[in-house]
């Protein structure tokens, strides 16, 4: 086989591998074709909890022909592979950018539109003898969001809780107490258990085995920790007594980790521990 034939064969084999594809719109105007020869990097950060997702785009502006998008412009992003197609990654609002050189580059930052500013505004109200489903349904209704609560969490009863902070804080508090995650994705308020490897609807996520040849690097470390925890102590006030009590969860009572926050009742303290 000639050298030319070997090069052609190698190039042909490379073409069989899927390539990354994307689509980006700004205020519903598709700018993907304009980015094709300029895109240096695009990074999407998909955060857990009540932290806004973000997208960062770096573009080549060596000809100084790019316009800097205005703060507040709506950016929608799709990512995928050439063999499987695009997947919608959400809507974002441009929060800022920067221009540097040389070589001249334009950097654009945007955050998800799902977490409204009103989520962080302080509110005062109480919930008494209601389920997690009912509390989150009330919050979702206020923001015109769809709601998905995992079946294992939906019917858990909250005897009483007072809200004197933001909706983001009370959702995070309730999620932490129940070993769950509360977040907003694509117009849907989600309450899901941590570590279940399931979709929002309760279906098991497929397992994927990664082998060394499929990656470009790896890192492994081991050692002994001096912070061994054998039990957790959580404090609470009983409803009709003024004394502070506690519960201990763990295999031994030596070297306990204490949760300094005082919980509203014994059940909540046990869940936290």
Instruction: Find out whether the peptide bond into 102 is cis, omega within 30 degrees of 0.
Output: yes
Give per-residue pLDDT as tens, 200-221.
666 788 888 888 887 778 888 8
pLDDT score of 14 more than 70 = no
Give per-residue pLDDT as tens, 85-143.
899 988 888 988 888 888 889 999 998 876 666 777 888 888 888 899 999 998 889 88
14 in helix, strand or coil?
helix
Give per-residue pLDDT as tens, 219-271.
888 887 777 778 888 888 877 777 888 888 887 767 788 888 788 788 888 88
Looking at the DSSP bridge assignments, the partners of residue 44 are: 55
For residues 34-47, give the mean pLDDT: 88
pLDDT score of 7 more than 60 = no
CB 132 within 8 A of CB 178: yes
CA pair distance 102, 28, nearest whole angstrom: 31
CB 131 within 8 A of CB 152: no
pTM, to two decimals? 0.67
Taking the chain, what is the end-to-end CA distance rounded to the nearest angstrom?
A: 69
């Amino acid at each position: 086989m000639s050298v030319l034939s070997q090069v052609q064969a190698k190039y042909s084999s490379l073409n069989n591998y899927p390539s990354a594809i994307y689509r980006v719109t700004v205020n519903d105007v598709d700018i993907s074709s304009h980015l094709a020869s300029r895109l240096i990097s695009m990074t999407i950060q998909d955060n857990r909890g009540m932290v806004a997702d973000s997208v960062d785009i770096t573009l080549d502006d060596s000809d100084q022909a790019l316009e800097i998008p205005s703060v507040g412009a709506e950016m929608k992003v799709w990512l995928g592979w050439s063999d499987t197609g695009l997947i919608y990654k959400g809507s974002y609002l441009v929060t800022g950018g920067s221009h540097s050189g040389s070589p001249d580059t334009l950097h654009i930052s945007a955050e998800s539109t799902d977490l409204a500013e009103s989520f962080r505004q302080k509110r005062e109200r109480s919930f008494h003898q209601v389920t997690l489903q009912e509390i989150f349904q009330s919050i979702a209704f206020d923001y015109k969001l769809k709601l998905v609560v995992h079946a294992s969490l939906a019917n858990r009863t909250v005897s009483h809780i007072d809200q004197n902070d933001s909706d983001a804080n009370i959702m995070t508090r309730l999620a932490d107490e129940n070993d769950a995650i509360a977040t907003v994705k694509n117009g849907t308020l989600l309450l899901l258990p941590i570590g279940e490897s399931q979709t929002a609807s309760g279906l098991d996520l497929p397992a994927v085995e990664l082998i060394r040849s499929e990656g470009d690097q790896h890192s492994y470390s081991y050692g002994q920790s001096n912070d061994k925890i054998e039990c957790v102590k959580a404090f609470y006030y009983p409803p009709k007594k003024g004394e502070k009590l506690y519960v201990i969860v763990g295999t031994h009572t030596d070297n306990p980790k204490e949760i300094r926050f005082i919980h509203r009742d014994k059940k909540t303290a046990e869940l936290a521990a």
